[in-house]
Structure 1
């Protein structure tokens, strides 16, 4: 009997950084065992928050991720502000959505142009791709820069922004700055539409599979900064019901947490959002779906690339809509008094659902915190996808082909900036 062992080592698939490896064991032409092993050094962010005043949380959690700081701030604010009898005003709610649109724009533009497109255009990295496709790379950098400008407008800076606070923002942008940014957003709309069409023309693999989609849903709009949790199995949950159905566990070969939904892997992120919320898309994007021939719900993870492009169009249009009648408020925040208790909050990071829980005492100090990011929620789904996708792809393919397919599958989930880079070492050993 011939036994072949294939080992693939990949960059970390953790929340932000770390080390990871993918181990494949093939026996008699069948994938006998697949293990996605994650090493994540202790980062202690949840412990850092214990004993802190509630007002400090917003700036601390912004440091968890350099790509999704707004997501961590908005989920934290949703959780903490649930402990108040008052709520931020209409202006704050609208501008928080604009703030979040900036993060989706910069993150999706970076992923599509610098991380994913080289896969499908036949290049090792974006620098090599730029020699043959300079306009595509330029477009990606411009869209990413525009997203950063939106974040900076409210956050003071685009990396680890400091503008958000309980009840609103520390400052309100000046009207002339808003008008200038609206003009840039309007100019970018044609580029965003071209990007969607470009992605739809790519030879994306046909790779149908079965999975559970999980995302926020809002009756009035495409859910970003708030909503109730919806699953493709028919559940609709509030933030305080999350822990009844979603669980985190450690695996023996991994230091990162893995999540399940009632014992099953599940998908969160752009494709899950589209699957559950496509009816909330504005009319021009409903037309775009017809134009590119994308039917929803969709069961091909490679269509996540197109989902991100569609969401870029969405957030540009949303930012324009929300800013076009901008007026400087009398105050950029509403003073809030928080009560002791458990606060729950969630929002949609670019990569998917981000859930927070905080225990606040009667002195306004954090006694306990729990944060469940989208990358850890998708890890079990990534492993299941790798097992099925590599088997369907063909385990007899050479090492380079197997490595590329594994990278492509992983990048569909855009787990983080560091773990989506274009290198993957592969060690293959055949044992007689």
Structure 2
């Protein structure tokens, strides 16, 4: 019997915190063991929140992630404001969605152009790719810059924004500032359409597989900043029902928590959203499916790239629609008295469902907090995907080929750990 062990190490790199390793054991061409280990230092954000006033939460959670701070703020606000008998004004609700559009725009643009495209175009990184594909890299930086500008419009700055607050925003942007940005967003629509067509034309691997999809759903629009949980298994859940079906557990060789849906791995993120919510997309994007030959629902995880491109088009469209007749409000926030109790809230971060729960005491202080980010929810699915995809790819491939395919599979999920970058060092020990 021929057996070989392959270890793929993930050194800590620069994009975001965390590191990991992938272990493979192959015997007679069969994958006997596969283990994905994620290592993250304790960050204690949930403990940091205990004893804080509710109004402090929104700024603290924005520091959890430099890529998707808006998602953390909106999920936190949704949870805390559920403890009020009043609601934020229609202006605030619309502008929060526009704020969120900025985050989808910048995050998806970064992922596609700087992390994913080098894989499919045969380059080690975006810098190397820029020599032969300068227009594509410029387009990515332009779209990402517009997303940052949209976040900054409401948040005061694009990284760890500080503009959001309970009941609304600290400040309403000036109409002339909004008009200037809307004009730039309109100019970028052709870039976004060309990006979708470009991504659909790439030689993406044909790798169908079965997986459970989980995403927010809204009856009137493509779910982003609010909605109810829908699953491809037929569940419909409110935020306060999340813990009845979704569970986090410790894996012996991993410091990060792993999530399951009633004991099963599941997918959250752009492809899951598209599979569940494609009927809520505007007509021009419905037509785009036929133009690029995309059939939904899709069971090919590599179509996540196309899903992100489509959501970039959606983000531009939504932001323009929300802001094109912008007027300054009488007040940029509504005072929302909070009652003691437990509040749950959620939204769709670029990487998927982000759920928060806060317990507020009689003095208005946070007694307990729980935050379930999309990366931890996808980790079991990533491991299952690696098992299936590497086996289908061929375990007899050389080390470099196996490493690249493993990187491509992991990057489909755009996890907020270092393995979102080009990271794998493969060491093979044959016996």
Work out the CA distance in 2 between the residues paired with 1:317 and 1:122. Answer: 32
Work out the CA distance in 2 between the residues paired with 1:398 and 1:384. Answer: 21
**Secondary structure of the equivalent of 1:402?**
helix
- Counterpart residue number, 1:23: 23
Work out the CA distance in 2 between the residues paired with 1:86 and 1:203. Answer: 51
Report deviation, 1:260: 0.1
Aligned residues of 1:211 and 1:267 also touching (Cα < 8 A): yes
Report deviation, 1:204: 0.2
- Counterpart residue number, 1:203: 203
Aligned residues of 1:11 and 1:420 also touching (Cα < 8 A): no
Aligned residues of 1:12 and 1:38 also touching (Cα < 8 A): no
- Counterpart residue number, 1:263: 263
Please show how residues 299-378 of structure 1 align to structure 2 within 5 Å: 299-378=299-378
- Counterpart residue number, 1:108: 108
- Counterpart residue number, 1:218: 218
**Secondary structure of the equivalent of 1:428?**
strand
Q: Which runs of 5+ in 1 are unaligned?
A: none
Report deviation, 1:11: 4.8
Aligned residues of 1:12 and 1:39 also touching (Cα < 8 A): no
Aligned residues of 1:119 and 1:408 also touching (Cα < 8 A): yes
Aligned residues of 1:89 and 1:334 also touching (Cα < 8 A): yes
Q: CA RMSD in A?
A: 1.0
Work out the CA distance in 1 between the residues paired with 2:262 and 2:11. Answer: 29
Work out the CA distance in 1 between the residues paired with 2:315 and 2:142. Answer: 15
| CA displacement, residues 102-150 of structure 1 (integer Å, 9 cap, x when unaligned) | 0000000000000000000000000000000000000000000000000
| CA displacement, residues 295-349 of structure 1 (integer Å, 9 cap, x when unaligned) | 1000000000000000000010000000011010011000010000000000000
Aligned residues of 1:108 and 1:309 also touching (Cα < 8 A): yes
Aligned residues of 1:17 and 1:419 also touching (Cα < 8 A): no
- Counterpart residue number, 2:280: 280
- Counterpart residue number, 1:134: 134
- Counterpart residue number, 1:291: 291
**Secondary structure of the equivalent of 1:132?**
coil
- Counterpart residue number, 1:413: 413
| CA displacement, residues 153-198 of structure 1 (integer Å, 9 cap, x when unaligned) | 0000000000000000000000000000000000000000000000
- Counterpart residue number, 1:96: 96
Q: 1:242 to 1:12 in 2, by over 3 A?
A: farther
Work out the CA distance in 2 between the residues paired with 1:409 and 1:390. Answer: 9
Please show how residues 137-176 of structure 1 align to structure 2 within 5 Å: 137-176=137-176
Work out the CA distance in 1 between the residues paired with 2:28 and 2:112. Answer: 37
**Secondary structure of the equivalent of 2:355?**
strand
Report deviation, 1:418: 3.2
Report deviation, 1:16: 4.4
| CA displacement, residues 50-89 of structure 1 (integer Å, 9 cap, x when unaligned) | 0000000000000000000000000000000000000000
Report deviation, 1:424: 1.1
Report deviation, 1:12: 6.3
Residues 1:402 and 2:394 aligned together:
no
**Secondary structure of the equivalent of 1:295?**
coil
Work out the CA distance in 1 between the residues paired with 2:376 and 2:12. Answer: 12
Work out the CA distance in 2 between the residues paired with 1:311 and 1:39. Answer: 30
Please show how residues 18-97 of structure 1 align to structure 2 within 5 Å: 18-97=18-97
Q: What TM-score do the two structures reach when normalised by structure 1?
A: 0.99
Work out the CA distance in 2 between the residues paired with 1:423 and 1:272. Answer: 25
Report deviation, 1:199: 0.3
Work out the CA distance in 2 between the residues paired with 1:267 and 1:104. Answer: 18
Q: 1:251 to 1:417 in 2, by over 3 A?
A: closer
Count of aligned pairs: 430
Work out the CA distance in 1 between the residues paired with 2:390 and 2:424. Answer: 15
Q: What TM-score do the two structures reach when normalised by structure 2?
A: 0.99
Aligned residues of 2:19 and 2:417 also touching (Cα < 8 A): no
**Secondary structure of the equivalent of 1:358?**
strand
Report deviation, 1:423: 2.6
Q: Which runs of 5+ in 2 are unaligned?
A: none
Aligned residues of 2:18 and 2:417 also touching (Cα < 8 A): no
